[in-house]
């Protein structure tokens, strides 16, 4: 199987919580073509309940406007795409959070396949409390929200 770790952790600070979750999307060339194309069109986010306004396909340096409504409140997530990979058996992108984001860190979304022709998605994240006092105060709740979002990400391309 292809090693999804080619998207490297850019932040080595011990203050960051690490998460890596994976799931099978399906099997075969058709699944691979659809899932890898969908990934680079932000569908892993939009099918998980987020709205994304930004260029597609995703490119390094993009700063899309990402937002989500939670309990009637719109939460803006400023990010910058820092890496995009498009290879025969791995398609991925990673972004870092920008000032004003509810958390500090990075997130990577990797669609990969192995010799068994099974297509998987791996979601990796590094998370620390935001520098914004209001967000920092609710960080434990945000960690719970991230777990919910990760489960949605794993199903988004199926």
Return the domain boundaries, the chain.
15-156
Coil, helix or strand for 153?
A: helix
Coil, helix or strand for 44?
A: helix
Q: Do residues 152 and 48 lie in contact, with contact meaning Cβ atoms separated by under 8 Å?
A: yes
Structure tokens at 19: 């998460």
| Over residues 152-156, mean pLDDT | 97
The continuous run of DSSP H or E covering 35 comes out as: helix 29-39
Q: Which CATH architecture has domain 15-156?
A: 2-Layer Sandwich (3.30)
Asked if residue 51 has pLDDT above 50, the reply is: yes
d(CA 158, CA 131): 35
pTM of structure:
0.90
Pairing of strands 65-70, 118-129: unpaired
- Residue showing tokens 């073509």: 33
pLDDT tens-digit series, residues 4-37? 444 555 555 678 899 999 999 999 999 999 999 9
């Amino acid at each position: 199987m292809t090693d999804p770790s080619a998207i490297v952790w850019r932040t080595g600070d011990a203050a960051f919580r690490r998460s890596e979750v994976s799931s099978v999307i399906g099997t075969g060339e058709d699944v691979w073509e659809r899932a890898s194309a969908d990934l680079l069109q932000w569908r892993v986010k939009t099918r998980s309940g987020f709205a994304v306004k930004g260029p597609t396909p995703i490119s390094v340096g993009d700063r899309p406007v990402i937002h989500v409504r939670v309990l009637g409140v719109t939460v803006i997530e400023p990010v910058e795409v820092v890496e995009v990979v498009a290879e025969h058996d791995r398609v991925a992108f990673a972004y870092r959070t920008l000032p004003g984001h509810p958390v500090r860190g990075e997130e990577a979304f990797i669609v990969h396949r192995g010799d068994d022709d099974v297509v998987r998605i791996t979601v990796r994240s590094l998370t620390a409390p935001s520098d914004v006092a209001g967000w920092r105060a609710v960080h434990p709740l945000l960690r719970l929200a991230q777990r919910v979002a990760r489960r949605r990400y794993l199903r988004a391309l199926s």
